[in-house]
Amino acid sequence: MIGYALKRLALAVSLVWAVSFVAFVAFGLSFNPFYSLNLCGGSCKAQRDALAAEFHLHDPILDRYWLWFTGLFHHGFGNAAIVSYGGNTVRAIDPPLWRAAGITAQLMATSLVLTVLASVLLGVVAARRPGSGIDVVLRLLAYLTWSMPTFLTGVLLARWFAPTGWFIVPGIPGGGLLPWVRAMTLPAVTLSLGLIGLYSRYLRTALLSELQRPYAVVARSKGLTESRVTLRHALRNSLIPFVSVLSLDISAIVGASLAADYIFFRGGGLAGFFLNSLGRADPFILTAVVVVIAGVVAVFSLLTDLAVGWLDPRVRAGSGD
């Protein structure tokens, strides 16, 4: 398992590095952080020259990337160039970026826990009673929640629950367990609802297939109850494709989490940070945001890959572990 985990970790790090290269080159060639200084003509030439020297903006893009990349190991993402007519103000990127990333990571982690628990519960209930009334109701609810965009679900929940005072709508999570729960509940539910609808149906289908396999028939013939056959044998095998498909959708889940962040956290997460940075046309901030988002995707993808390897030893064997 250790060898399998190290290989997956190396793959995740390689992907984040590739994203950092593409993002830095794309933003570096497309955005100019002193565009506003061009409006004041020759009177701002000294400021433009100072900014260009500070951030090596006249160097070849590959040289700039190498300076930026090597600087990550010494001072993180470095400084952001905030340009005004009165001069340059330089501000560290890391503190606000990591605060925003922490909020988005908390939202994703909470939503994934809710998604897995609810999907397993509903999938097992539906698989135990295929074709029954509860199965039909769950199917209809799954189609309904999955068909609704995340931002629409978030707006509706915020509108419905704001007058009740039960939850903080909107608010930044923090300040103790209870305020954190009040601030995180609605955005986590917003992000989870559609996922639960999709993955509970997927797990139901996988369970129905596993319950027809020979090992399940033999287990019943030996006197095991249907609940024991389902929970102790079929469920574990059904979780393997369930977690595998979930890992493929991590990037989409991150994208949906940005919509929930913008609605409920007033842009306090990565969504708001990215939009604010886009308005400044600062390639260094934009690159840092994209790299952190890629890192969040890589971490959660790594966790799901490790879960698949733990559930199915054949995956580890196939990787040479």
| Contact predicate 42/293, CB 8 Å | no
Cα(48)–Cα(132) distance, integer angstroms: 71
Instruction: Fill in the amino acid letter for 211.
Output: L
pLDDT at residue 84 in the model:
41
Domains of the chain: 96-280 (1.10.3720.10)
pLDDT score at 44? 66
Is residue 168 helix, strand or coil? coil
pLDDT tens column, 71-82: 888 778 877 765
Distance CA 184, CA 22 (A): 33
What would the pLDDT profile of 25-47 be if each residue is shown by its tens digit?
A: 998 888 777 665 665 656 667 77
The whole-number pLDDT of residue 193 equals 84
φ, ψ (nearest 5 deg) of residue 53? -70, -40
Amino acid at 319: S
Quick: pLDDT tens for 81-132.
Answer: 654 434 444 477 888 888 888 888 888 888 888 888 888 888 888 888 777 8
The whole-chain average pLDDT of the chain stands at 78
- The H-or-E segment that residue 198 falls in is helix 177-210
pLDDT of residue 87: 45
Name the phi and psi angles at 87, rounded to 5: 135, -175
Matching residue, tokens 């190991």: 73
Number of helices (H) and strands (E), helices first, in the chain?
14, 2
Q: Model-level pTM? A: 0.75
| Average pLDDT for 128-143 | 80
Cα–Cα distance measured from residue 308 to residue 303, given in angstroms and rounded to the nearest whole number: 9
- What was the pLDDT predicted at 313? 64
* N-terminal to C-terminal alpha carbon distance within the chain: 7
1-25 mean pLDDT = 82
Query: 4-13 as b/e, with b when 16 or more CB fall inside 10 Å?
Result: bbebbeeebe
The pLDDT score that the predictor gives to residue 18 is 92
Secondary structure class of 57 (helix, strand, coil): coil
Give the pLDDT confidence of 161-174 residue by residue, as tens digits: 877 777 776 666 66
Span 265-321, pLDDT tens digits: 766 788 778 877 777 777 888 888 889 888 888 887 788 777 776 766 655 545 555
> What pLDDT shows up at residue 177?
80
Q: Which residue has the tokens 């990550």?
A: 72
- pLDDT-derived band at 242 (thresholds 50, 70, 90) equals confident
